[in-house]
Structure 1
Amino acid sequence: MGGRLRIIGGEWGGRRLTVPSAGGLRPTADRNRETLFNWLQGRIEGARVLDLFAGTGALGLEALSRGAAEAVFVERSRRVAEGLRATLVALEAGQRARVVTADARRFLTGPPAAFDLVFLDPPFRSDLLAETLPTVLAGDWLADDPRVYVEADRHAPWPLPPPGWTVQRERRSGTVRYALLSRLS
C-alpha cells in the first residue's frame, strides 16, 4: 500500500499522487513546501534542479510543476525509485526529469553538473546531511547564484554553512528545521 502526495502549485497544482510506502520515507510537509517555494519565487522558471535524497520526489516534482526546466532525482531504494519513475510517466514529465537509482554519496563522486537548485532532505537520524552538504557546496555541482535547501530533524546537529555561504531563510515546524542557503555576493 502506498501513501499520498499532493502537488501544491503550478501546472500540476492540486494533483494527488500515490507514492510507495517505505520505512523512513517522509515527504516534506505541504506547509513547509509552500514556504520553501514562496522563498524561491522567481528562481524556479527554467531552473536545473537536483533532488538528492528524492524519496517521493515531493520537492523536485513541485519544482517541475512550477516551471523548472529539468530535475534529477537521486534515490537509493530501487522500489521507491521505480515508484517515482511511474509518477513522472503519469505526469508526462519524462523529457524534463531523470531518476538515478544510487546512493547520494556515490552519485556525488560522479561527473558534476551545474544545478540552480539543490534539495537536501536526507533521512532523519542519519549523518547524510553533514556528509553531503560540504561536497555539494564546494564542488562543481552548482550554477552561478544557486540556492541549496536543507531539511533535518529539529533536534539534530545543524550544519553551519561554510565560508562564502549564508543562511538566507530558516524555519522550524513541528519536528523539522529547514533552511535555504545562498552564496555571499
Structure 2
Amino acid sequence: MRIIGGKLKGKRIKTLPKRDDTKLLRPTTDRVKESVFSILNNYLEGTTFLDLFAGSGNVGIEALSRGAGKVIFVENDKRFCNLIKENLKKLGIEKDRYEVICDDYVKALKKLAKRGMVFDFIYADPPYEKGFYTRIVNMVKNLGLLDRDGLLILEEPKKHPFLPEDEKWIVERRGYGTTLVTFVNFHPEEEENV
C-alpha cells in the first residue's frame, strides 16, 4: 500500500499479511482515497483529523502527508495498532502530530469527548456488515466531536447505504465501484442562510 499524495507521496505503508483472521480488513482503495483527498486537499493544512477504524493507518497517514496538523487513529485490534505505530515511526512523522488509541470505537469516542476534542474531519470506515453507521453518526453528533464546519466522512457499501436521522445532514454522496462515500455535516441550514 502506498501514500498517493503530499510530502510522503510514493512511500509504502506496511500491512499485515492476509490471513483468515484479517479477512474482514478492507483497506480503502487508492481510487477512493484519491477522490476523497482531492476534495479535502485545500482544507487539510493544520486540521485535526480522526481516522476511525484505522486498520493499517492508511487514511490517517495520507492526511498527515497532505498537511493535517494532528491525526488520531482509533483501532481496536492490537496488531493493527502496533502496525500503525511502526508505519508512523518508519515514515519519520513527529510524535506530537499523531496519537494511536487502541480501543473499541465507542469507548474511544467517549474518551475523546471527555478530553474536549473537536475534529475538522472524521473518517469512518467500519466493517460493512456490522451496521455501526447510525451509532457512529449519533455519537459524533451528540458528543460534539465535529467542528461546526467539519465533515464526517463515511465509507460504506453502495448496496446498503446509511440513512441518517436527517437527510439534510448529507452534504454529498459519491460512488466508486461497490463503495459509497458519504459526507455529513450537522449544520447545513447555517450554510444555507449565509
**TM-score, shorter chain, exceeding 0.5:** yes
1:150 aligned to 2:146? no
Which residue matches 2:12? 16
Moved more, 47-56 or 166-175: 166-175
CA contact 1:121–1:129 (8 Å) conserved in 2: no
Instruction: Please report how far the alpha carbon of residue 111 of structure 1 lies from its aligned counterpart in structure 2 after TM superposition.
Output: 4.1
Query: TM-score with structure 2 length normalisation?
Result: 0.87
CA contact 1:51–1:60 (8 Å) conserved in 2: yes
CA distance in 2, matches of 1:139, 1:162: 17
Moved more, 76-85 or 20-29: 20-29
Which residue matches 1:102? 103
1:7 aligned to 2:10? no
Counterpart residue type for residue 132 of structure 2: L
Counterpart residue type for residue 3 of structure 2: I
- Secondary structure class of the residue paired with 1:177: strand
Instruction: Please report how far the alpha carbon of residue 135 of structure 1 lies from its aligned counterpart in structure 2 after TM superposition.
Output: 0.8
* Aligned residues between the structures: 180
Query: TM-score with structure 1 length normalisation?
Result: 0.91
If each structure's strand is expressed as a fraction of its own residues, which one has the higher value? 1
Counterpart residue type for residue 4 of structure 2: I
* Structure 2: gaps (5+ residues): none
CA distance in 1, matches of 2:11, 2:183: 26
Which residue matches 2:174? 171
**Aligned pairs for 1:104-143 within 5 A:** 104-112=105-113, 113-143=117-147
- Secondary structure class of the residue paired with 1:20: coil
Which residue matches 1:91? 91
CA contact 1:53–1:75 (8 Å) conserved in 2: yes
If each structure's helix is expressed as a fraction of its own residues, which one has the higher value? 2
Cα RMSD, aligned residues only: 1.5
1:159 aligned to 2:163? yes
CA contact 1:120–1:148 (8 Å) conserved in 2: yes
Counterpart residue type for residue 27 of structure 1: P
Which residue matches 2:77? 77
Q: Which runs of 4+ in 1 moved over 4 A?
A: none
**Aligned pairs for 1:25-40 within 5 A:** 25-40=25-40
Instruction: Please report how far the alpha carbon of residue 43 of structure 1 lies from its aligned counterpart in structure 2 after TM superposition.
Output: 1.2
Which residue matches 1:58? 58
* Structure 1: gaps (5+ residues): none
Instruction: Please report how far the alpha carbon of residue 73 of structure 1 lies from its aligned counterpart in structure 2 after TM superposition.
Output: 0.2
1:137–1:51 Cα change, 3 Å: same
CA contact 1:75–1:101 (8 Å) conserved in 2: yes
CA distance in 2, matches of 1:95, 1:111: 16
Overall identity of the aligned pairs, in %: 31
Deviations 1:97-152 (A, max 9, x none): 11110010111222411111000110111111222111112322122310111011
